[in-house]
Chain A
Amino acid sequence: DTEVTQTPKHLVMGMTNKKSLKCEQHMGHRAMYWYKQKAKKPPELMFVYSYEKLSINESVPSRFSPECPNSSLLNLHLHALQPEDSALYLCASSRQGVVISGNTIYFGEGSWLTVV
């Protein structure tokens, strides 16, 4: 099973709403990632969790709040977003967070977020 599962696939939310994106993997990976991808642009890293601890925050606005409840789950809590936050949000995982060559990163199908 090399699957990273993301829910929901599509989400429309107002600027005052609170919502969450969810990500799950059962490959025993200990590193999990959130990426943001705008149309016709490459994915941009937002957060990295390594062994359930936040290890990288790429200066993401506080209206995005990540959470890693356990080694299989990763959430992204959304609050007071702006229309420009509309994008494809991709979750990914890799075997371990400490860098060792050969860590293939597996991506989910993404969650399409539209902020109205």
Chain B
Amino acid sequence: KQEVTQIPAALSVPEGENLVLNCSFTDSAIYNLQWFRQDPGKGLTSLLLIQSSQREQTSGRLNASLDKSSGRSTLYIAASQPGDSATYLCAVSFSQGGSEKLVFGKGMKLTVNP
């Protein structure tokens, strides 16, 4: 059974710090890994998707890496800002019954203090 873990569950940092968020998964037979952001009371916004054949993806101040063989991904946030405060979830996709299934980690609540 695929399990996704994110540690720590919460992180509070001063503005301007570079951050690394960690995600691990137990079964390396994934199709892709996706990082999401969720603001309180809102839905999920996709930040980055890394295909299983890729090693990393970048978007602005965000960089995500994937090491499928070791079951790990990291999300790097450069020069953090208060607006980055949110819960960050990673999710892996794999096949079940011919359809794509997405399993989430429990998320990491990030607070960036001005």
Contact indicator A41/B106 (Cβ below 8 Å): yes
Contact indicator B104/A42 (Cβ below 8 Å): yes
Give the residues in chain B near A60, CB-CB below 8 Å.
none
Contact indicator B42/A109 (Cβ below 8 Å): yes
The minimal Cβ–Cβ distance linking A47 to chain B, given in whole angstroms, is 10
Q: Does chain B have a CB within 8 A of A45?
A: yes
How far is it, in angstroms, between the C-alpha of A41 and the C-alpha of B4 when the chains are bound? Answer: 13
- Which of A31, A92, A100, A102 is within 8 Å of B49, CB to CB? A102
- Which of A42, A43, A103 is within 8 Å of B100, CB to CB? A103
Q: Number of contacting residues on B, CB 8 A?
A: 31
Q: Does chain B have a CB within 8 A of A64?
A: no
Give the residues in chain B near A44, CB-CB below 8 Å.
104
Contact A107/B104 with A99-B31, A102-B32, A102-B51 known, Cβ cut-off 8 Å: no
Q: Does chain A have a CB within 8 A of B71?
A: no
Give the size range of A's interface with the partner: 20 to 34
Type the 1/0 row for B80-111, where 1 means its CB is closer than 8 Å to any CB of A: 00000000010101111111111111110000
- Chain A, Cβ-Cβ closest to B54: A101
Type the 1/0 row for A15-56, where 1 means its CB is closer than 8 Å to any CB of B: 000000000000000010100000001111100101000011
Contact indicator B98/A50 (Cβ below 8 Å): yes
The minimal Cβ–Cβ distance linking A105 to chain B, given in whole angstroms, is 6
Residue of A6, A48, A98 ringed by the most chain B CB atoms within 10 A: A48
Q: Does chain A have a CB within 8 A of B52?
A: yes
Give the residues in chain A near B32, CB-CB below 8 Å.
101-103
The minimal Cβ–Cβ distance linking A77 to chain B, given in whole angstroms, is 21
Q: Does chain B have a CB within 8 A of A94?
A: yes
How far is it, in angstroms, between the C-alpha of A109 and the C-alpha of B53 when the chains are bound? Answer: 30
Give the residues in chain A near B31, CB-CB below 8 Å.
99-101, 103
Contact indicator B34/A50 (Cβ below 8 Å): no
- Given A101-B52, A107-B36, 9 extra CB contacts under 8 A: A42-B104, A50-B98, A56-B101, A97-B100, A99-B93, A99-B95, A101-B51, A105-B34, A107-B44
B contacts, CB < 8 Å to A: 31-32, 34, 36, 41-46, 49, 51-53, 89, 91, 93-107
